[in-house]
Amino acid sequence: MLASVDHSDQSRRRMFKTLLWVTMCFGVLFSVFNATRGLWLLVGIEVIYTLLSLYMLVVVERTRHLRALTIVYLIPFLGVMMATLANPNTSVGIFAWIQTIPIILYLLLGLRLGLIGSILFVSLGLYLYTQHYAEKNPSDSLGFLLDIGMATLAITIFSHTYEHTRAQTEKRLMELISTDYLTGLANRSKLTEIFARERAHAQRNDTPLALVYLDIDHFKQINDRFGHETGDQALRHFASVLSQRLRATDLLCRLGGEEFAALLPNTTAAQASAIAEELRERLASTPMLVNGTPMQMTLSAGVANLGQDGERLDELMNAADKRTYAAKRAGRNRVVSDEALALG
């Protein structure tokens, strides 16, 4: 996911902080209440958990392991809740807290873990109720059990539906943000995100990483002669033809206008030049049909390599862009990877 729009992570972080504050407030309240009833074990557990919540509130904003921290928090949190429900002296009203379990788990853990946790702990909570209250007044207890059980089931279904819809909406939003609407390729933002990941991988494993800058030759003439609709068709044709040659690990993206780039992980400069040549040849040999008439398209390309041409994306883009313009000056429909030609 794009770091700048990692809504899910930030949303769960805020939810977690809210729950920590609620835990501390209710921990103090219930520890005082249980102390008046002489339930010192529960008092000790609640005080310890209140202090744990305070510690987690301090570290939650800077942790990289939010889900792990959340699970570490939730297991004793739900354990304390189950222990409270299991206590014979617990008020029957406490069982209303079972209904909060699906909401908390879905909001903090997502769809799969939320469903698993809800089924597990809601079932356990209802079982504990049957063990401690069913014999006291069976008819009243059964009615209460059905009420709280059906209400909790409804909340679980609503929570599951909400989380599923939210996850699908967020996924679609991320696709829209990172995809070029015309060609369906990745856009510049996606390139920036993937480059950061691939550069870290290349530096960590000492593997090459190459960037190819691609520019459609005489694209303005296509627009001027045939119109913008044909120009859009040409962009889609270009994207389709080149995508068929690239590997699944490669990233082809549209930078804007008729300018494209291909990020090639685990690829040396020589290998990237060969791939760019294949792309050039494939495009030149695959004309686009305009009103039933084949129209040949060509490209000019420049190649840059991580390390030799820089460590940042803008440095590689600048180097590859210069070589692309060198290819255009040399007559177009060619690939340049040599620094001398780019400066010439």
Alpha-carbon 194 to chain mean position? 12
What does the DSSP assignment read for 183-204?
T--B-HHHHHHHHHHHHHHHHH
CA distance 293 to 290: 5
Two tokens, residue 145: 């059990």
As a whole number of angstroms, the distance between CA 144 and CA 132 comes to: 13
- The region, left, alpha or beta by phi > 0 then psi within -120 to 50, assigned to residue 106 is alpha
Q: Give the H or E element holding residue 252.
A: strand 251-256
Q: Tell me which of 193, 258, 277, 281 is the catalytic residue.
A: 258
Rounded to whole angstroms, the Cα distance separating 297 from 285 reads: 8
Helix axes 66-86 and 100-109, enclosed angle (nearest 10) = 170
Tell me if residue 258 is catalytic.
yes
Tokens of 42: 């529960």
Strands (E), 116-170: none
End-to-end CA gap in the chain: 41
Q: Which residues are catalytic?
A: 258
